[in-house]
Chain A
Amino acid sequence: MEHIVIIGNGISGITAARHIRKLSDKKITVISAESDYFFSRTALMYVYMGHMKFEHTQPYENWFWKKNGIVLRKGFVKTIETKTKTLHFAEGDTLHYDKLVIATGSKSNKFGWKGQDLKGVQGLYSKQDLEQLEIYAPNNTTCNRAVIVGGGLIGIELAEMLTTRNIPVTFLVREDSFWNIVLPKGESEMLNRHIKNHHIDLRLSSNLREITSDENGHAKSIIIEETGEEIPCDFVGLTAGVSPNIDIVKQSDIETDKGVLVNCFLETNIKDVYAIGDCAQQRQTIGNRKPIEAIWYTGRMMGEVVAQTICGHKMAYNPGHWFNSAKFFDIEYQTYGWVFPKPMKGHRHFHWKHEDDTKCITIEYDIINNTFLGINTFGIRMKHETFDKWLNEKRNLNYVIAHLSEANFDPELFQHFEKNIQLTYKKQLQTV
């Protein structure tokens, strides 16, 4: 029986395992050094915040794996020997595979800052990171102040987490407005205000110069590059993005760049070795997508696809329209299609913001033929299916604005804003 070995039990690896099982009777082994069972990485924040226990982040009960013939193996793979198709574990033993799927995920970026390896300095990605966080920032007596470096999704989540334990947070953001490398101005600025409303000391256009140490090798303060200001703190969160976690792959014959290089079938340069999820880097980019997509959804989709290929139905990774979501403190964010921080050439933005400063939408459209290209929605839930359909049908902006209520996914009895949005749209047309 063919033995499929998957390194990594995150969403990519587990999705692949589940779908291979659905399609075949192959022997499946999933290896992880991080946790005994699959858990939802994106839910780690809720464990620290006390919304859930760690067990709640595990989407399948523990009996599920045995029942479905998926062998879970806890261990750390040290080297991959592709010639003999053998994995060598740090624990000393080996495992033979017939096909290998690398799904090792990401690790937090560290850009060579002085003091980046001190105690109390860490990213937030793994279960171990969460355990470290409980040691260095369990409450506001152990941690009088925390500094977060890097204004992205993980940074703002970490800020929210620390706030729930009443730990004062200073948030260093390199850009002049929060996440404006992704979000248009109106949205980004609304989030700046929302962050400040949650009593976060938000420092825009601020880079980290260094982290200073106390006599025990513990972080003592940080110094801001631009101003030279020193901020005393007990915890430093490094959340300036993630990059593929591929140290073990780099020493093998498998070709890597930033990530493990794969073709459109998610195959590496070595036969029978595949890479999926955060750690995979596409040799050829797909549409507007980046070659490395460290996103939950893309990890899952790659798992779905690679399972088909492994089970004899060779299939290219060809994702549909872009979508994503996040939550910034109390504001939910969804996006469908492409909205760029500044409209692409030949495109324009339509922006609407509610007066309560927690809801807004931005639509990117083509100036010439008015085609709808994508939407960002904050504080209003919208339907994935509807926008997927409209993008397929290449609907124009007028149509989308007129039919916006069909896309509404807010709970029943909620206030609707479509009329308000339509009114704003009309007014803008008149002034343009």
Chain B
Amino acid sequence: MSNKLNYSMSLAKPDAQSLSVTQKVAVGVGVTGLFILILALLNTDFPNQGWFLILALGLISVGALIFSNSIYLNTSKGIKNDGVWFKSISSRGILGWAIGIVLTLFYIVLYFYPSVLGLAKDGASNTGLIALFDPLSYLLSGRPASQWFVYGTLYTVAILIFGYKFMLKYRHNRYEQIRTGSVMFFQLGFAFLIPEFMYRLNSKIPYYDLKSIWPLNYYNFERYRIDQFIDAGNIGLALLIFSIISIFIITPILTYKYGKRWYCSWVCGCGALAETVGDPFRQLSDKRKSAWKIERWLIHSVLVFVIVMTTAVIYSYLGKDTSKYWLTRDVFLVLVAGFLTLIFALTIIFKRKELGKDARYGAIGFFAVILGLIGLHYFSTDTKLFFLKSETLRTSYGFLIGSIFSGVIGTGFYPIFGSRVWCRFGCPMAAILGFQQRMLSKFRITTNGGQCISCGNCSTYCEMGIDVRAYAQKGENIVRSSCVGCGICSAVCPRGVLKLENGSLEGRINPNEILLGNDVNLMNLVNKN
């Protein structure tokens, strides 16, 4: 509302898009469901908790579905961004801020004060909101609910209902529909149901979301997890091996073939939330060049940190004696350093020209890690790493990155900074995938000759804050490490300029000074450089 060129002096809302009767009913239904959850939070003792949980989640879902149907099914198929910058919720208005604050507070409680949600202490039974979810938890895994089970359930429900809404919104676009179906499937199956069933089959297996790959699950190689994997027998060992294969084999192959989108916008749970619940906020990402600069420093710093930390954590529980097990501390450090040096050397040798100035920053990152590893070797004792307890290093990463960055800021601030703050500025997994996407992948967004009119829809709706237009208006392919391949730039383009593609590596990066359509001689003259 506040972004129009002229403020209306009218007392009535100038952009009133009043609700239809159906929409009012839908709001009523959904809010009633939400109210049951709030009552539970206030420690209301529901009889038949199972039924009330079904009722609450059912009402919320039905309300959202009816509302989505009434918004989208009565209109023509096409881009539905009318009034996005007029609505309070999607343009950092009062509603946007209010929701941002509520979400942030929710994350603080979830991470740091779960007892507020009713988590049992010392063997007592759960109360409040968490107790409401007990029956579902018993049904799935045979144990009482935890705050993470409640969060996981709500997270999954949110992705399913907002995923449905997103599919209706883009019902003219099969790429968006199938992609959304994929994230809904992976969230429901891999993140939510399978880990619970696995627990039921073998309660020794640690919670393991098969699609969550290190360094996103930075805790995966901590001592207690490794112990749990090993204690769980063959299946545990298989999972441990799978987690290593995911990093070194599956991820590089898929990223080479399809770009990082195979993960970030087709599989990942964080991406799933951003693409569904976060969709109304995608336009809020910062497109300035200065933001891009911050992004690159921040995300790569997190990556350096997570590599050093994980190495340190594994180092801390490895032995020193080669006669007991071949993988000792020193062997491990040499392996890590060797692997990183190999990647660094290959990049510099083959991509030096493309990188230009950025090679220097890459070198800084590389040497920071190597120095960290050397420091690890010289300044660590059995209990301390860099004079710090390994426990401290781990918990501070968990607190700063795992909780504050990915949860509180990453999701809580959706309505302020846009839906991909975590993915763009903080996710170390995205940093690795992005590095490969930039260096060694068939994926790119191609532009259609001279058809760009510089309108800016692509840049505006890029959740990663990429200034897509800057490339499109030069007829240049978009090859950016941060691009998650959501495909929205292509969808909102009114002139059919952008297309996500996997193609040959040759000519993938192609700046053009003169666009197609002009004098052939001029194009040849200027573009040959």
A: residues with CB less than 8 A from B are: 11, 19, 22, 40, 42-43, 46-47, 49-54, 56-59, 61, 130-131, 134-135, 138-139, 141-142, 164-166, 197-198, 296-297, 300-301, 304-305, 308, 315-321, 323, 325-327, 329-330, 332, 334, 381-385, 388, 409-415
The smallest C-beta distance from A369 to any residue of chain B, in angstroms, reads 23
Which B residues are in CB contact (< 8 Å) with A134?
4-6
The 4 closest A-B pairs by CB, nearest first: A384-B449, A330-B78, A381-B496, A43-B455
Instruction: In the complex, identify which listed stretch (B38-46, B273-281, B511-519) lies at the interface while the others stay far away.
Output: B511-519
Contact of B86 among A50, A135, A321, A382 (CB under 8 A): A50
- A58 CA / B455 CA spacing, docked (Å): 8
Asked whether B453 lies within 8 Å of A42 as measured between CB atoms, the reply is yes
Asked whether B14 lies within 8 Å of A315 as measured between CB atoms, the reply is no
Asked whether B517 lies within 8 Å of A197 as measured between CB atoms, the reply is no
Closest to A323 in B: B517
Asked whether B455 lies within 8 Å of A40 as measured between CB atoms, the reply is yes
Residues of B412-456 at the interface with A, using a CB-CB cut-off of 8 Å, are: 448-451, 453-456
Closest to A42 in B: B453
Which B residues are in CB contact (< 8 Å) with A308?
522
Which B residues are in CB contact (< 8 Å) with A142?
10
Using known A-B contacts A46-B457, A51-B84, A383-B449, determine if residue A325 contacts B496 with beta carbons closer than 8 Å: yes
Using known A-B contacts A56-B456, A305-B522, A411-B490, determine if residue A49 contacts B495 with beta carbons closer than 8 Å: no
B499 interfacial contact with A, CB 8 Å: yes
Closest to B174 in A: A413
B390 interfacial contact with A, CB 8 Å: no
Closest to A380 in B: B496
Asked whether B76 lies within 8 Å of A329 as measured between CB atoms, the reply is yes
- A412 CA / B259 CA spacing, docked (Å): 14
Contact of B457 among A19, A52, A135, A332 (CB under 8 A): A52
Contact of B175 among A165, A321, A413 (CB under 8 A): A413
Contact of A139 among B14, B81, B451 (CB under 8 A): B14
Closest to B77 in A: A330
Contact of B494 among A53, A332, A410 (CB under 8 A): A332
Contact of B81 among A51, A138, A317 (CB under 8 A): A51
The smallest C-beta distance from B304 to any residue of chain A, in angstroms, reads 29
Instruction: Give the interface size bracket for B toward A.
Output: 35 or more
- A245 CA / B113 CA spacing, docked (Å): 66
Using known A-B contacts A134-B6, A135-B6, A166-B17, determine if residue A57 contacts B517 with beta carbons closer than 8 Å: no
Using known A-B contacts A50-B82, A297-B450, A323-B449, determine if residue A197 contacts B76 with beta carbons closer than 8 Å: yes
Which A residues are in CB contact (< 8 Å) with B453?
40, 42-43, 296, 325
Asked whether B496 lies within 8 Å of A320 as measured between CB atoms, the reply is no
B172 interfacial contact with A, CB 8 Å: yes
Most B-side CB within 10 Å, residue of A49, A50, A301, A304: A50
Contact of A334 among B15, B86, B496, B500 (CB under 8 A): B496
Using known A-B contacts A305-B518, A315-B522, A409-B499, determine if residue A52 contacts B85 with beta carbons closer than 8 Å: yes
Contact of A332 among B496, B522, B523 (CB under 8 A): B496
Asked whether B494 lies within 8 Å of A327 as measured between CB atoms, the reply is yes
Residues of B13-72 at the interface with A, using a CB-CB cut-off of 8 Å, are: 14-17
Contact of B3 among A22, A53, A61, A326 (CB under 8 A): A53
Known A49-B81, A59-B454, A412-B499; 12 more pairs at CB < 8 Å:
A40-B455, A42-B454, A43-B454, A50-B87, A51-B81, A53-B85, A57-B456, A134-B6, A297-B517, A411-B491, A412-B500, A412-B501
B127 interfacial contact with A, CB 8 Å: no
Asked whether B469 lies within 8 Å of A325 as measured between CB atoms, the reply is no
B238 interfacial contact with A, CB 8 Å: no
- A406 CA / B211 CA spacing, docked (Å): 36
Asked whether B448 lies within 8 Å of A317 as measured between CB atoms, the reply is no
Asked whether A325 lies within 8 Å of B460 as measured between CB atoms, the reply is no
Residues of B255-314 at the interface with A, using a CB-CB cut-off of 8 Å, are: 288-289
Most B-side CB within 10 Å, residue of A142, A320, A382: A320
Closest to A384 in B: B449
- A51 CA / B491 CA spacing, docked (Å): 13
- A53 CA / B85 CA spacing, docked (Å): 7
- A53 CA / B83 CA spacing, docked (Å): 10
B: residues with CB less than 8 A from A are: 3-6, 8, 10, 12, 14-17, 76-79, 81-87, 172-175, 178, 288-289, 448-451, 453-457, 459-460, 469-470, 473, 487, 490-492, 494-496, 499-501, 513-523
Which B residues are in CB contact (< 8 Å) with A388?
449, 516-517
The smallest C-beta distance from A122 to any residue of chain B, in angstroms, reads 14
Asked whether A43 lies within 8 Å of B496 as measured between CB atoms, the reply is no
Contact of B76 among A319, A326, A330 (CB under 8 A): A330
Closest to B491 in A: A411
Asked whether B514 lies within 8 Å of A43 as measured between CB atoms, the reply is no
Asked whether B518 lies within 8 Å of A320 as measured between CB atoms, the reply is yes
- A40 CA / B493 CA spacing, docked (Å): 14
Closest to A53 in B: B3
Closest to B18 in A: A166
Asked whether B517 lies within 8 Å of A301 as measured between CB atoms, the reply is yes
Most B-side CB within 10 Å, residue of A19, A53, A135, A411: A411
Contact of B517 among A164, A166, A321, A327 (CB under 8 A): A321
The smallest C-beta distance from A156 to any residue of chain B, in angstroms, reads 12
Which A residues are in CB contact (< 8 Å) with B288?
61
Using known A-B contacts A134-B4, A319-B518, determine if residue A40 contacts B456 with beta carbons closer than 8 Å: yes
Which A residues are in CB contact (< 8 Å) with B3?
50, 53
- A60 CA / B288 CA spacing, docked (Å): 10
The smallest C-beta distance from A362 to any residue of chain B, in angstroms, reads 17
- A338 CA / B415 CA spacing, docked (Å): 47
Asked whether B84 lies within 8 Å of A50 as measured between CB atoms, the reply is yes
Asked whether B460 lies within 8 Å of A51 as measured between CB atoms, the reply is yes
Residue pairs across A and B with Cβ atoms less than 8 A apart, 26 shown, are: A49-B82, A50-B3, A50-B15, A50-B82, A51-B81, A51-B82, A52-B455, A56-B456, A57-B455, A59-B469, A138-B4, A141-B10, A197-B76, A198-B76, A304-B514, A304-B522, A321-B517, A329-B76, A329-B78, A332-B494, A381-B448, A382-B496, A385-B448, A388-B516, A411-B487, A411-B500
Contact of A325 among B12, B495, B521, B522 (CB under 8 A): B495
- A181 CA / B258 CA spacing, docked (Å): 45
The smallest C-beta distance from A335 to any residue of chain B, in angstroms, reads 10
Closest to A38 in B: B454
- A139 CA / B14 CA spacing, docked (Å): 6
The smallest C-beta distance from A161 to any residue of chain B, in angstroms, reads 10
Which B residues are in CB contact (< 8 Å) with A40?
453-456
The smallest C-beta distance from A310 to any residue of chain B, in angstroms, reads 14
Using known A-B contacts A51-B81, A317-B519, A321-B517, determine if residue A59 contacts B76 with beta carbons closer than 8 Å: no
- A331 CA / B258 CA spacing, docked (Å): 29
- A49 CA / B85 CA spacing, docked (Å): 9
The smallest C-beta distance from B46 to any residue of chain A, in angstroms, reads 42
Asked whether B8 lies within 8 Å of A43 as measured between CB atoms, the reply is no
The smallest C-beta distance from B76 to any residue of chain A, in angstroms, reads 5
Asked whether A50 lies within 8 Å of B8 as measured between CB atoms, the reply is no
Using known A-B contacts A139-B16, A325-B496, A411-B487, determine if residue A330 contacts B172 with beta carbons closer than 8 Å: yes
Asked whether B517 lies within 8 Å of A384 as measured between CB atoms, the reply is yes
- A327 CA / B523 CA spacing, docked (Å): 28
The smallest C-beta distance from B24 to any residue of chain A, in angstroms, reads 18
Which B residues are in CB contact (< 8 Å) with A50?
3, 15, 81-87
The smallest C-beta distance from B115 to any residue of chain A, in angstroms, reads 44
Which B residues are in CB contact (< 8 Å) with A49?
81-83
Using known A-B contacts A51-B460, A300-B515, determine if residue A415 contacts B174 with beta carbons closer than 8 Å: yes
Closest to A408 in B: B499
Asked whether A22 lies within 8 Å of B513 as measured between CB atoms, the reply is yes
Asked whether B470 lies within 8 Å of A59 as measured between CB atoms, the reply is yes
Which A residues are in CB contact (< 8 Å) with B516?
320, 384-385, 388
Which B residues are in CB contact (< 8 Å) with A296?
453
Using known A-B contacts A43-B456, A51-B85, A51-B460, determine if residue A409 contacts B448 with beta carbons closer than 8 Å: yes
